[in-house]
């Protein structure tokens, strides 16, 4: 089983990069399952709209994951109940949280569970992702489990992956938007990458216009961040190969398309 995962889509440029390159990546890499994180995909870089959700699916996503900006576009409440391929963090507190924290995709004779989880360090209060995963595993009832772990710190992401090494097929980090260089298969068979990176404006600070971010650092006063809307884009992702019998990973390889790394099919 081959999984293609594309990191946080930011703003219009991110959506455009998906539209341009995801079909090419699917043609060349031939994944059985394609997952895209869409939590920053609105033009303002926060949340997701129904039209963008449908566009990501049309362009080739099988599942769309979210993160800490899940509820930032109020329109989500109108359609999340019927969006069976949209997955928000499974460890949101409360029993009546709208939407779903995981979904399943049938791949030939196997079933892949796609789980979204959010970290707690330097993030909004959430239920314990370690305990949530422990409780969830029996319910998933499959050896093929992919987790988009949306978190701030490298230590929390890696600790989670090592805690469930061998029980999960892959743990890939999102949220910090800069792709890390530590893609590896852990000792017991879980593919891990601390941060897959973002898909959005290349000439920006994590997708935002640089001037506003620089101003915040220089004067330490509240500043409204605005998504960079002009210039080149980048696409960050990874491709993961799983053993069809065990669900363990055999390989994980980062993908980066940018002005410095043009796509070569």
Mark the binding-site residues, compressed into ranges: 8, 39-40, 68, 150, 175, 177
For the record, the structure tokens of 93 come out as: 């507190």
Distance CA 77, CA 130 (A): 27
Q: Report the half-sphere exposure of 52 (CA within 13 A, side-chain side).
A: 30
DSSP code for 216:
H
C-alpha torsion sign, points 40, 56, 242, 254: negative
Distance CA 172, CA 20 (A): 23
Angle value at C-alpha 212, between 209 and 214, nearest 5 degrees: 105
Residues forming the active site: 69
For the record, the structure tokens of 48 come out as: 């997701």
DSSP code for 61:
-
**Which residues make beta-bridge pairs with 254?**
238
Longest dimension (CA), the chain: 57
Q: Which residues are annotated as a binding site for Fe cation?
A: 8, 39-40, 68, 150, 175, 177
DSSP code for 93:
S
Decide: 90 and 102 in contact? Cβ < 8 Å: yes
């Amino acid at each position: 089983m081959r999984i293609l995962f594309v990191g946080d889509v930011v703003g219009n440029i991110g959506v455009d990069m998906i539209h341009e390159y995801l079909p090419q990546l699917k043609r060349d890499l031939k994944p059985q399952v394609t997952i895209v994180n869409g939590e920053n995909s609105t033009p303002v870089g926060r949340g997701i709209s129904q039209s963008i959700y449908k566009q990501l699916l049309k362009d080739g996503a099988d599942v769309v994951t979210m993160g800490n900006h899940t509820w930032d576009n109020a329109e989500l409440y109108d359609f999340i109940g019927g969006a069976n391929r949209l997955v928000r963090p499974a460890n949101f507190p409360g029993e009546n949280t709208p939407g779903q924290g995981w979904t399943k995709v049938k791949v030939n004779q196997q079933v892949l569970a796609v789980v979204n989880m959010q970290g707690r360090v330097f993030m909004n209060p959430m239920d314990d992702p370690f305990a949530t995963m422990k409780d969830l595993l029996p319910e998933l009832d499959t050896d093929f489990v992919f987790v988009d772990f949306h978190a701030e710190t490298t230590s929390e992401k890696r600790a989670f992956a090592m805690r469930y090494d061998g029980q999960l097929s892959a743990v890939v980090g999102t949220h910090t938007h800069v792709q890390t260089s530590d893609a590896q298969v852990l000792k017991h068979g879980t593919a891990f990458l601390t941060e897959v990176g973002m898909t959005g404006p290349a000439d920006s600070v994590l997708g935002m216009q640089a001037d506003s971010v620089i101003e915040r650092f220089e004067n330490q006063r509240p500043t409204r961040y605005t998504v960079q809307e002009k210039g080149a884009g980048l696409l960050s992702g990874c491709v993961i190969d799983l053993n069809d019998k065990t669900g363990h990973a055999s390989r994980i390889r980062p993908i980066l398309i940018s002005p410095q790394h043009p796509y070569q099919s």
